[in-house]
Amino acid sequence: MGGSFESGRQRLQVSQDLTCFHPSFQDLTGIESMDQCRHTLEQHNWNIEAAVQDRLNEQEGVPSVFNPPPSRPLQVNTADHRIYSYVVSRPQPRGLLGWGYYLIMLPFRFTYYTILDIFRFALRFIRPDPRSRVTDPVGDIVSFMHSFEEKYGRAHPVFYQGTYSQALNDAKRELRFLLVYLHGDDHQDSDEFCRNTLCAPEVISLINTRMLFWACSTNKPEGYRVSQALRENTYPFLAMIMLKDRRMTVVGRLEGLIQPDDLINQLTFIMDANQTYLVSERLEREERNQTQVLRQQQDEAYLASLRADQEKERKKREERERKRRKEEEVQQQKLAEERRRRNLQEEKERKLECLPPEPSPDDPESVKIIFKLPNDSRVERRFHFSQSLTVIHDFLFSLKESPEKFQIEANFPRRVLPCIPSEEWPNPPTLQEAGLSHTEVLFVQDLTDE
Structural domains of the chain, with CATH: 15-68 (1.10.8.10), 84-289 (3.40.30.10), 366-446 (3.10.20.90)
Please report the pLDDT score of residue 404 as a whole number.
Answer: 84
Please report the pLDDT score of residue 213 as a whole number.
Answer: 97
Give residue 24's identity as a one-letter amino acid code: S
Q: What is the largest CA-CA distance in the chain?
A: 178
Q: Which strand (E) or helix (H) includes residue 101?
A: helix 95-126
- Residues ≥6 apart with Cβ < 8 Å to 317: none
Which segments in the chain show pLDDT lower than 50? 1-23, 60-62, 68-73, 81
Cα 389 from Cα 428, distance rounded (Å): 6
Please report the pLDDT score of residue 117 as a whole number.
Answer: 64
Please report the pLDDT score of residue 380 as a whole number.
Answer: 92
- Residues ≥6 apart with Cβ < 8 Å to 217: 140, 144, 147, 182, 183, 184, 185, 223
Among candidates 249, 276, 212, which has minimal Cα distance to 62?
A: 212
CA distances from 394 to 85, 165, 347, 356, 382 (A): 124, 106, 10, 10, 14
Please report the pLDDT score of residue 12 as a whole number.
Answer: 34
Please tell me whether residue 248 adopts helix, strand or coil conformation.
Answer: strand
Give residue 430's identity as a one-letter amino acid code: T
Please report the pLDDT score of residue 151 as a whole number.
Answer: 95
Contact of 140 with 216, CB cutoff 8 Å: yes
Cα 384 from Cα 367, distance rounded (Å): 6
